[in-house]
Amino acid sequence: MAEIAAQEYRIVRVDELEPHPDNPHQGDVDLIAESIRRHGFYGSVIVQKSQSRIIAGEHRWLGARKAKLKHVPAVVLDVDDETALRILLADNRMAEHGSYDDAKLAELLSGLPDLDGTGWRDEDLADLLDGLGDDIEIVQDEPATPRPAPAPDPVGGDLDDDEDDQADEDEGDDFEQAAAAAPPPRPKTGSTVELIVPLTAAQHDEVTGLVADIRSRDGEAPLAEIVVAALRTHAERQR
C-alpha cells in the first residue's frame, strides 16, 4: 500500500551537499541558473540522509550554486543506498514520459513578453510554430459548404452533350471557388476560438516587444483585445 515516506525539511548549506556519483542524467545548468535568477529558488532537492547525497534535483542544486546561492531547501530521506538509487532513477525517468500539447504551449509562450527564465528560447518557439504548419489554424466547427446557384439554361433550347459537359466543369469550378471563399462560421455565443499564427524569430521579437509596450502603458490587457484592436486599426486605414 502506498504511503508518504518519512522525510525532514531543512534549509542546508549548498556546500554541505554532494551529487550522487552514479547519476546518469545530464541537464542544462545554465538554463536552470537563469530561471533561479529570474524567479528565485522554489521547491527543494531530495537528499539521502546518511550520505548527504542528492538523489533528486541535482541540476537544480548546481543551478543554485551557479546563481551564487548559499543555502537551498532540502527534503531529507533516511533510506539505504539501493532505495536512494531507485528514487534517483525513477525521478529521472518519470519526467521523460510526459508530452506537450504543442498548440497550447505555443499559445502560452507567445503570450509572454519575453521567455527569460522559462527554459525556452526564441528559436525553440520559432521551431514549435514552424512544426504546427504554415497556415493559421482555426479551432472550431467545420463550416458548411455553400451550394452554388445553378447555371441558367441558354435561350433557344437545351445544351448539346459537349456544352453540357463544359457546363458541369464550370459549375464544379464555381463550387470550389465558393467553398474556398467562404468565411469561417461565427463561434457560438460564450465560446472561444483559437488562432495559431506562425512567426519568424524576428517577427516574434517585434510582436512581443509591441505587446510589452502596450501593456506597460495600458496595463495587463488581454492579448485577444490587443490583437483585435490592431486588426481593426489596420482595416480602417485600408478604407
pLDDT digits (tens, 9 = 90+) for 225-235: 788 788 878 78
* pLDDT: which is higher, 42 or 153: 42
- Asked whether residue 125 carries a pLDDT value surpassing 50, the answer given is yes
CA atoms within 13 A on the CB side of 202: 0
34-48, 62-76, 127-141: least confident range:
127-141
Give Cα separations from 80 to 45, 55, 84, 85, 90 (angstroms): 17, 12, 6, 9, 16
Return the amino acid letter for 52.
S
pLDDT band at 168, cuts 50/70/90? low
- Asked whether residue 122 carries a pLDDT value surpassing 70, the answer given is yes
| Pair type for strands 71-77 and 45-48 | parallel
Highest-confidence segment of 25-34, 90-99, 156-165: 25-34
For the chain, what is the mean pLDDT? 81
25-34, 90-99, 140-149: least confident range:
140-149
Residue 130 is predicted with a pLDDT of: 87
- Asked whether residue 236 carries a pLDDT value surpassing 60, the answer given is yes
Q: How far apart are CA 128 and CA 99, in angstroms?
A: 14
Residue 214 is predicted with a pLDDT of: 83
- Asked whether residue 176 carries a pLDDT value surpassing 90, the answer given is no
Provide mean pLDDT across the span 176-204. 64
Q: How far apart are CA 69 and CA 53, in angstroms?
A: 18
Residue spans of alpha helices (H) in the chain: 29-39, 58-66, 81-96, 102-110, 122-131, 161-181, 201-218, 223-238
Across the strands, what pairs with 56? 46
